[in-house]
Amino acid sequence: MSLEAVLSRISEIRSQIDTLQSGGTRASSSAAAAAASSSAFDATMAATGGAATGSGVTAGGAAGTPSAAPATSVDAGKGTVATGSGKTGDDVVADAKKYLGVPYVFGGTTTAGMDCSGLVQTVFKDLGVTMPRVVPDQAKMGVAVPSLAQAQPGDLIIPKGEGHVVIYVGDGKVLHAPRPGKDVRIVDNWYKDSDIATIRRIVPSAQEAAATKAASTVGVGGSGTDLQTAALMSLMQSGSAA
């Protein structure tokens, strides 16, 4: 969705709010404002490439955008993003980088040595998010991202066969614990969409977190101008307004 389309949608929402506030009760106006806030959030997320709520993506990464429905705790759930820790994908990448140079040890989860899924579990544990231990279980957590084109820093990429897991760090690079004799490192991503079983988003991306924060600043009785400002600020923070 282009910036012009987003602004057009926000203008429509503003008109709806003005109409309802002038002719309806306070209760109905509040409900309309809340609904409009949600619509502005979804429009902004579509423009930034983030997640629109209620998209119903399947575990295998079907077409669409990942759902950003909040988890009820910091545990990484199935079909929902864990928001309880307040961490984002950028935090995942930053924490994972602490383990660069740690040797690969099958079954390991410490700085003395770790394997690919041990690295993933340890990183999320550092951030206060509970994750399963092995790749097939990790592949069921969070929400599916449709393709590499929509992947954001902090997403997990699991190839077909679910024998490995890597952390996407952005700019076409991944961080992982490769195999015995190697250490945790950042390399160019060698997977193609056809190689991938699923891409999982465990915590919100930085873009999604920024959009949610902007939307939350709009109160139930917020004006159309507030909605437009929040949406534009989110676009600027994500770089999409450049």
CA–CA separation, 150 and 117 (whole Å): 22
Tell me how many domains the chain contains. 2
> How far from each other are the two terminal CA atoms of the chain, in whole angstroms?
14
Instruction: Check residue 37 and report its DSSP letter.
Output: H
Share of the chain above pLDDT 90, in %: 49
What predicted TM-score, i.e. pTM, was given to this entire model?
Answer: 0.63
Q: Which residue range forms the structural domain that includes residue 101? A: 89-204
Alpha helices in 127-181 (DSSP H): 135-138
Q: Same structural domain for residues 211 and 195?
A: no
pLDDT at 162: 97
Which residue, chain included where needed, has tokens 């509040």?
30
pLDDT at 141: 94
> Is residue 59 predicted with pLDDT exceeding 60?
no
Q: Same structural domain for residues 20 and 45?
A: yes
CATH code at position 188: 3.90.1720.10
Judge whether 213 lies within some domain.
yes
Q: Same structural domain for residues 36 and 95?
A: no
> Is residue 88 predicted with pLDDT exceeding 60?
yes
pLDDT digits (tens, 9 = 90+) for 26-42: 444 444 444 444 444 44
Catalytic residue IDs: 116, 164, 176
CA–CA separation, 99 and 65 (whole Å): 30
